[in-house]
Amino acid sequence: MKLTGFSLQGLCMRLCVLWLLGLAGAAAQAAAATPVPKVQVPGKTSKPAKAVPPPKPVLAPPAGNLVIIGGGLRTENAEVWQRIVQLAGGKGARIGVFGSASINPESAAQATVNRLNQYGAQAFAIPLGVTWPNSDYRKAAEDPETVAMIHSATGIYFTGGDQARITKALVRPDGSHSAALDAVWDVYRDGGVVAGSSAGAAIMSTTMFYDAKSTLDMLKQGVNEGHEIASGLGFIGEDVFVDQHLLVRGRFARMIPVMLKKGYQIGLGIDENTAMVVNAKRDVEIIGYSGALLLDLSAAITDRGIKGFNISNATISYLDRGDKFNLVTREFTPSPDKADNKLDPNQPDAREPVYTNDILGNNAVLDLMVNLIDNAQQDAIGIAFGNPRDFNPELGFEFRFSKTINSVGYSSTEVEAYSVLKLRMDIRPIQLQQPLYRYR
């Protein structure tokens, strides 16, 4: 069979050629769309892709507890000593003791080791301190053996002395943590207890007193970084300022200029032979002999038109032994012996004016607060002034304490003890007549 101009065989051959050409074109297009891997040439390296930095580790809040002691902790104060041992794991708990704050750190550490062991611990001294005999404290703070000793503990205790010696021993000159300090933090984060008395309490906040003047001189002259204050170790967090020896030495007023300078809203000052126990939920419990003052400056203001230190609308509270306070919720829980004995402001126990001419004296502020909360008077005044031979003797300060609708008092049904909440406190400078007195 023949077709005009074509044979059947020729037509079939042409169709086959066209089909093969189509397949070849499709393969070429697919090849063009597929990336061709580069061939590595010997002696040359390809430029690596830019590395994505690993995410920074997120440190969980510490799971441990703090026992912050105001100094002067007596051997017979079983409540505090036993609590430290209990929080470290109970009988046989390994507690590492830093005597670093002391001029004689070895003997100071051993004395505390002996006391803790009396209450059931298996305590041991950590050989690290600026004045530790026959030792280079910088090397000791990085020594793997020292670090291993600390990691073997479930509790850490810092003795009293000079808090600057603690930070000098544990913080590198560039401000970073030594290996030993990181190990202490590991113990705390893993659920261990960190305790400290006096200087050991001062290091608990991010700012601590360093080379502090008297309270009155700090009100007169202010506070300066590297002189009156320096960096602490910050175990309690960045939002709370801590001070110690508080009521006995009348130190509550020196906390205020520091808090204003550094931006703290909350300050806790613990008295001697007394402790604040702070847990992972930030509950504060007062145990021991006395109590603590709580300062709240969240609504406080200063008047720049007044020459000299001043503050208005600060809030001051006294937390007695057995009382609890949460640093997050700001909720207060009275001790069981006060829970059902809230003071009735309509039935005050006293009516006479409340006044002291030495508000910075031993327990003076507590006596004034207690006398005011159960009184028909609405405010009380305390005065602070210095020796006529002191710097600027004519400058003094008036402390005015006032009850507000938020002020509350509780009284114990077992002993003569009070909790006083949310008194307003205003401080302003006053001019004193010189001389203060004349002979008759």
Whole-angstrom CA distances from 252 to 197, 200, 269, 363, 431 are 17, 18, 7, 10, 22
Domains of the chain: 65-333 (3.40.50.880), 355-431 (no CATH)
Residue 329: which pLDDT band, with cuts at 50, 70 and 90? Answer: very high
- Is residue 384 classed as helix, strand or coil in its secondary structure? strand
**Averaged over 365-391, what is the pLDDT?**
94
Q: What is the pLDDT of residues 293-315, one digit of tens each?
A: 999 999 999 999 999 999 999 99
Q: Check residue 326 and give its pLDDT.
A: 97
Whole-angstrom CA distances from 42 to 31, 46, 49, 431 are 26, 11, 20, 88
Phi and psi for 182 in degrees, rounded to 5?
A: -60, -35
Q: Check residue 54 and give its pLDDT.
A: 52
Nearest to 324 by CA among 338, 305, 341: 338
Residue 324: which pLDDT band, with cuts at 50, 70 and 90? Answer: very high
Q: Dihedral of the CA atoms 146, 150, 156, 161 (nearest 10)?
A: 10
**Averaged over 3-17, what is the pLDDT?**
44
Nearest to 295 by CA among 140, 399, 397: 399
Q: Which long-range contacts (CB under 8 A, 24 or more apart) does 188-191 make?
A: 188/62, 188/64, 188/156, 188/235, 189/59, 189/60, 189/62, 189/63, 189/64, 190/63, 190/64, 191/63, 191/64, 191/154
Task: Sort 381 into a burial class: Cβ within 10 Å, 0-12 / 13-18 / 19+.
Answer: middle
Whole-angstrom CA distances from 60 to 172, 186, 189, 280, 422 are 24, 11, 8, 11, 33
- Is residue 183 classed as helix, strand or coil in its secondary structure? helix
Q: What is the pLDDT of residues 141-190, one digit of tens each?
A: 999 999 999 999 999 999 999 999 999 999 999 999 999 999 999 999 99
Mean of the per-residue pLDDT values of the chain: 89
Evaluate if residue 57 carries a pLDDT over 60. Answer: no
Higher pLDDT, 99 or 55: 99
d(CA 300, CA 311): 7
- Is residue 251 classed as helix, strand or coil in its secondary structure? coil
Q: Check residue 77 and give its pLDDT.
A: 98
Any bridge partners for residue 421, and if so which?
408
Phi and psi for 266 in degrees, rounded to 5?
A: -115, 135
Q: Check residue 364 and give its pLDDT.
A: 97
Least confident of 7-21, 118-132, 380-394: 7-21
d(CA 6, CA 371): 127
d(CA 116, CA 364): 33
> pTM (2 decimals)?
0.85
Helix (H) or strand (E) segment spanning residue 289? none
